[in-house]
Structure 1
Amino acid sequence: MLDSKSDTSTPETHAGSFLADRRAIEGLPVRLVIALVVGVASLSVMMGMIGDIDGLSSTEVDAQPQPEVTSPGSQTLDVAVVDPDGNRVSDATVIVRGGSARLDGLATAKSGEDGIASVEVSPELGPNQLDGTLSIDVKPPAGSDFVDERGNTEVLVVSE
């Protein structure tokens, strides 16, 4: 317990020195920045652990058309649907749309056991158009953990 005789300061003196003391304010922003950095690092570690759980992760599929360069007119494109390891995916629906090359509607086909879908297309180029593209989308098999969120290889259509 403090002796009242040893503490000769009055409450007004404490209040004045408290108002003049700026040390607490100088350290506050640094502490907030450190807390923010530690919090963001912890959150990223937790999100990484959640992403590693098989039930919540998904696998991107890609479309590999053959041929990648073609000419206008009626033809068949063989599109292989593959996962990141290069394994073929069966029962996926391949959708071919006109990009800068015209296509009458959509062309669709389902990949077989070999992971290849044969799509009948008839691309056309406009007047004075030397080339164009056809875009490919993949609808993964129902009930699988596959997704097609990234862009796939486009087929280049070149006039003869």
Structure 2
Amino acid sequence: MGKFRLIRRDEKAMELPINIVVMLVVGMVALATLISIIPTPTKEMSVFVDGVRLEGGNLQKGNSIIVDSKTAEAPFSITVVVKATDKDGNPVRNANVILRGLGGAASNTTGIDGTTFLTTAENARLRLDPNQNEGTMDLKILADGFYDYERKDAVMIIKTR
């Protein structure tokens, strides 16, 4: 037995499992600390499309707008009024609001009252194809402390014949 040493009598062999357990505990504590630092969204948003306005026209209540066939085939611009609140009706401030579809897009940030006006840009004007009678635009809102809000077909544009 001179060549072979018994593990029971070797004190260094016991250090390895103890070191692994200590490293595992320290690693789990560090991971738990990092996870607790990450803010989690805690609130739901209520979003309302208050009105839509065709370029140069009056604001119409609701989320749809009717355009004549001549206007629909030429590039046009719209303005959409969006209001974001929490479940208690308090305004959601500084939320990033994005509206896109029909070849155009608009973005803005909500103000102190949770309202924003989105107007499609001059270089990204909307257009309905000659054989297209209606089109929709999607809405996305991002705000700190809230779940992201996405709504397909949030704004509808209908062409009259």
Give the TM-score of the pair, scaled to structure 2: 0.54
For 1:62, the equivalent position in structure 2 comes to 46
CA contact under 8 A between 2:81 and 2:115: conserved in structure 1?
A: yes
Out of 81, 87, 90, the residue aligned to residue 93 of structure 2 is: 90
Q: How many residues align?
A: 99
Q: Does 1:133 align with 2:136?
A: yes
CA deviation after TM superposition for structure 1 residue 86, in Å: 2.6
CA distance in 1, matches of 2:135, 2:153: 13
Q: 1:91 corresponds to which letter in structure 2? A: N
Give the CA RMSD over aligned residues: 2.2
CA deviation after TM superposition for structure 1 residue 65, in Å: 1.3
Q: 1:64 corresponds to which letter in structure 2? A: F
For 1:42, the equivalent position in structure 2 comes to none
CA distance in 1, matches of 2:41, 2:118: 30
CA deviation after TM superposition for structure 1 residue 111, in Å: 0.5
For 1:155, the equivalent position in structure 2 comes to 155
CA distance in 1, matches of 2:153, 2:131: 25
**Structure 1, gaps ≥5 residues long:** 1-54
Q: 1:116 corresponds to which letter in structure 2? A: T
**Structure 2, gaps ≥5 residues long:** 1-38, 52-62
Aligned identity (percent) is: 27
CA deviation after TM superposition for structure 1 residue 76, in Å: 1.3
CA distance in 2, matches of 1:63, 1:124: 26
For 1:118, the equivalent position in structure 2 comes to 117
Q: Where does 1:1-40 land on structure 2 (aligned, <5 Å)?
A: none
The secondary structure found in structure 2 opposite 1:63 is strand
Q: 1:69 corresponds to which letter in structure 2? A: S
CA deviation after TM superposition for structure 1 residue 62, in Å: 3.3
More strand per residue: 2
Give the TM-score of the pair, scaled to structure 1: 0.54
The secondary structure found in structure 1 opposite 2:151 is coil
Q: 1:77 corresponds to which letter in structure 2? A: V
Q: 2:47 corresponds to which letter in structure 1? A: A
Give the 3 Å change call, closer, same or farther, for CA 117–152 of structure 1 in structure 2: farther
**Displaced runs of 4 or more, over 4 A:** none
CA distance in 2, matches of 1:91, 1:56: 18
CA distance in 2, matches of 1:128, 1:154: 22
